[in-house]
Amino acid sequence: MPMQSRSAAAPGRAAAFRDWRRGRPFVGGLLAALGGVEMFFSGQLDLGHLHIQLGIEGLQATVIPIALVLLGILSVTMPAHHVFYGILTVVVAIYSLVGVNMGGFIVGMLLSGVGGVLVVAWMGPSGAKRGKRAE
């Protein structure tokens, strides 16, 4: 009998998560955070037994990916400020091309850049309702 109650509750949880996700720039924030994670691991590569980080470059290889993950999380948790977080995400992603191993071998920069653009372009639930009324 408990299996039936769990399966009956699962669609309710899935619907609740779907409603929560639609009220936020979820995909953009997720892509920005994934780009930051990819950059972090690409900046920590070793060539054999050689691991060189000199001066500010070593700090940038850590701070920029952490900033991108944080911006992705903040854009999902505080959707009212999505334009600010999205613009910061795009700027940091572009700067990572210079600061972090060619932007995480370009993959991390592209993930974070696309995520930042999606966060800025997100219309929110009120924008979707206005679009339906216009039709």
- The pLDDT of residue 1: 46
Helix (H) or strand (E) holding 38, with range, is: helix 26-43
Q: Which residue has the higher pLDDT, 100 or 18?
A: 18
Task: For residue 87, count other CB atoms closer than 10 A to its CB.
Answer: 15
> Do 108 and 35 touch, CB atoms closer than 8 A?
yes
Residue 51 has pLDDT above 80, yes or no: no
- Radius of gyration of the CA atoms of the chain, in A: 19
Return the structure tokens found at 8: 């009956």
pLDDT bracket for residue 124 (50, 70, 90): confident
pLDDT bracket for residue 30 (50, 70, 90): very high
* Whole-prediction pTM: 0.78
* One-letter identity of residue 75: S
Q: How far apart are CA 111 and CA 39, in angstroms?
A: 10
Q: How far apart are CA 42 and CA 71, in angstroms?
A: 19
Q: How many angstroms separate the first and last alpha carbons of the chain?
A: 47
Q: How far apart are CA 112 and CA 123, in angstroms?
A: 19
